Amino acid sequence: MEANLYNQAGEQIGSIALDEYIFGVTPNVALMHQYVVMQHANARLGTHNTKGRGEVKGSTRKLYRQKGTGRARQGSVRAPHRPGGGVAHGPHPRKYTKNMPRKMRRLAVRSALSVKFAADQIRFVDAISFDVPRTRNMLSLLEAHAISGKTLLVLDTKNEASLVVQRSANNLPNVKTLWASYINVRDLLACDTVVMLKGSVEVLEGFLAKSTRPSLAAEEAA
């Protein structure tokens, strides 16, 4: 399968060959949902904490005798229903981490890429380079490609040139830059347009493409 390839000025300069195993799979909606839930859960710190009745300050003596006062029986001043008392069944530090097998994670990412490609929301660009980091340069690029709304810019490798491009987009609230090796479902689905460099496609193919390792039966036959 192929897609149009553009240069930095927004002109079509040819086409780019895409792996159907990455950009043409049948989307697995359940896996994409599970992936996003995992991302949100792993982003939680879980550092919330409350003090129970055994942790707050206060005497443990009984406030007054059990019977004969005409009032309701009371125990410690640290009881949860009293001012300054402990919190009953409050949150304590915990981990919210969720895990997914690698094959499921990669299928979820391939599903999200396929959804974006089928909706014609991926713009493949040969290369992007700026002399100096400047927001005006990034705005000019988006205007040249007629891109508006939330945009995800997928860069290939971290070097001086790509860092200049990243800094040029930092002041734009609707543009997010992401290294291709960090591609994920949440960022893909949250944007309106994905701007992907030719080098980023090669990075994705490096870890998302179908394995070319020969089968066990073929190894035994050899």
Q: How confident is the prediction for the chain on average, in pLDDT?
A: 92
In terms of Cα–Cα distance, which of 21, 2, 12 is closest to 212?
21
Copy the structure tokens of residue 101: 């097998």
Are 74 and 64 in contact by the 8 Å Cβ rule? The answer is: yes
Report how far apart, in Å, the C-alpha atoms of 45 and of each of 26, 93, 97, 171 are: 34, 9, 9, 27
Beta strand 175-179 with 193-197: parallel, antiparallel or unpaired? unpaired
Residue with tokens 């129970």: 52
| pLDDT digit string, tens, across residues 97-134 | 999 999 999 999 999 999 999 999 999 999 999 999 99
Instruction: Note the pLDDT of residue 213.
Output: 52
pTM for this prediction:
0.83
Helix axes 160-169, 135-144, angle to 10 degrees: 80
| pLDDT digit string, tens, across residues 174-200 | 999 999 999 999 999 999 999 999 999
Please give the CATH number for the structural domain made up of 2-28+101-208: 3.40.1370.10
Instruction: Note the pLDDT of residue 1.
Output: 87
Q: Is the pLDDT of residue 96 over 60?
A: yes
With the CA atoms of 76, 82, 86 and 91 taken in that order, what torsion angle do they form, in degrees rounded to the nearest 10? 140
Q: What is the domain partition of the chain in residue ranges?
A: 2-28+101-208, 45-95
CB atoms within 10 A of CB 142: 21
Cα 8–Cα 13–Cα 17 angle in degrees, nearest 5: 105
